[in-house]
Structure 1
Amino acid sequence: MDFVLLGTGAGVPAKARNVTSIALQLLEERGTVWLFDCGEATQHQILKTAVKPRKIEKIFITHLHGDHIFGLPGLLSSRSFQGGVDKLTVYGPKGLDAYIKTSLLVSGTHLKYPLEIVEIEEGIVFEDGQFTVTAMPLDHGIYSIGYRIREKDRPGSLLVDRLHQAGVKPGPLFKALKDGQTVQLEDGRVLNGKDYLGTPQRGRIITILGDTRVCDNALVLADSADYLVHEATFSAEETEMASSYYHSTNAQAATTASKAGAKHLILTHISSRYSAEDSERLKKQSEAIFKNTIMAEDLMTIKIPLYAEKEGS
């Protein structure tokens, strides 16, 4: 699991920052990619990375401002030409369905894969055996959503030494026991797979917020998150401006991370008013409140490691 930060700017493209889009690569977990927002020229940014559009399984839109959705029609169209045949689901606020369908209709675009558009409000928007994705509204000028992605706990490693001591040889029985099944040996003994597994690995928690002012739901979504991705459109000195434009400062993002007990904070959605030289200052302001701050930069990749089994209880 890792982030590929495709666009880290706010409002309009800048030389150093394109507008918002984040790829969450789940290649080891499910062989797919999830995309969060899709600002203008996202597909151009993808060309500079190892992200494969045909592997994009889901796109989660936080809100319908242009810097978060103007890249959608082009990406959806190009995915057809790049070998994408598997179903793609796009989640987002009310109005997303009309935007996508109108864009495809008036441009005469025909997709070669099934497209599902799910308009959401609040609650669990996706769940399977691996992940649960929960959405909650934030505080922005239009309806804006934050997403909490929770990976379900993984089974512990197979205790091979213990199986050897029990006289079990490697083979099909190992796989059955690894899957937690109960098996019977040739000598009649019955082994329960759960007795031969290490401590489960705790699943990781990722929180990705749309544009927002400080609000309670941000704290709920970010509770104990391993990584919190939070907008930081303005610097710490511009609290009033941030509030008037329904955005956050870097200091406010850091405070949210601290209060929520997050482990890492990624500052993104940086205003084009700030130069590349300002980035270090913005990071230091945040670090004064929350030490584990990462200043997002376009095309940055951030690995999200598994928990060690001893931490999984």
Structure 2
Amino acid sequence: MIPKHQKEGFRVFLKDKRKKSYPKIFLEFLSLWREKGEIPLYYFKYLYRKDVTNVKDFLITKEASKIQRSRNLHKEEYLSIISNKLIFSLFCKKNNLPVPELISYNFGSSFYYEGKCYKVSNNRELTAFFKEVFNKTGKEKLFLKPFSLFGGRGACIIRKNKLEEDVKENASSIIENDCIHEDVLIQHDEVNKINPSCINTIRFETYIDDKKGIHVLDAFMRFGTGDNIVDNGHSGGIYVGVNMQEGRLKDVALEEIHFGGRDYFEHPTSNYPFKGFLIPYFNEARNLVIEATEFLPDRFIGWDIAITNNGPVIIEANEYPDLFMGDTSYGGYLKNPLFKEMLAEAG
């Protein structure tokens, strides 16, 4: 059975006026199939467009999977730290790497704050728990995310001034999951001009070569849209490539095809233009992911970095980052010699 998001994507493709002629599409599709040895269904996510003239520079599904699952690039010992948001937060704190402040957490209906376990079985008890946390910490809101968060799913914000409302809306999801509860970062004023509704992060992808050299392969910046509290492309966010030499955004933000596959020269909510936007603390953010990789030397990691008025902060690391967004924002990862080297190293 074809997944719903693929059906939606194919509908967008059929209606898209940016697509090449059908004969051109057929020839490119057939050529990729012959050369790559895989039915290139990924072609219909982005490569069908008239402005994409280098279709063979983009990753096929097998290549992306090879990198993500490679035993040469990943170690289980490192993945166990990266994949669990609670362990990762504690690990970073231990090594003085900047992360959002961990306030509390829960394993299902067992909630933990300042060395004490609270048993929660209903909305009233959950409200009482957060009320105590807010009163003792002086915080106004908390950002909750499951230990194994993917694509922003399951994340929520609990606000002190709307506590009962937020608990009512999110209680079942929180109690059914294992979640960390973090302080909500205050985003840099310049980034807020583009989108203040959520923390918008830079995704850096790092690679450690066979001589232990650490490289930053590429970066793109993700932005939430509307009132979305996460910036993830799998949750309807958009993403735009970064000029790595200048730390400036490229011209156009892209959107996953099953959400419409639109191009955005301006943010759809704020109408702020992307072209040439200078990311605050970009060099510091780049240096931070290199430093973090020294502490956590998995050979391929996707790092999500937020920018505050005081500098960059690590939001999370991703052990199996989705390569599609980086591939399209870069303009074809196989143009990057380091990426081709990493693909060969993947085994």
- TM exceeds 0.5? no
What TM bracket, shorter-length normalisation? under 0.3
More relative contact order, 1 or 2 (CA 8 Å, 6+ apart): 2
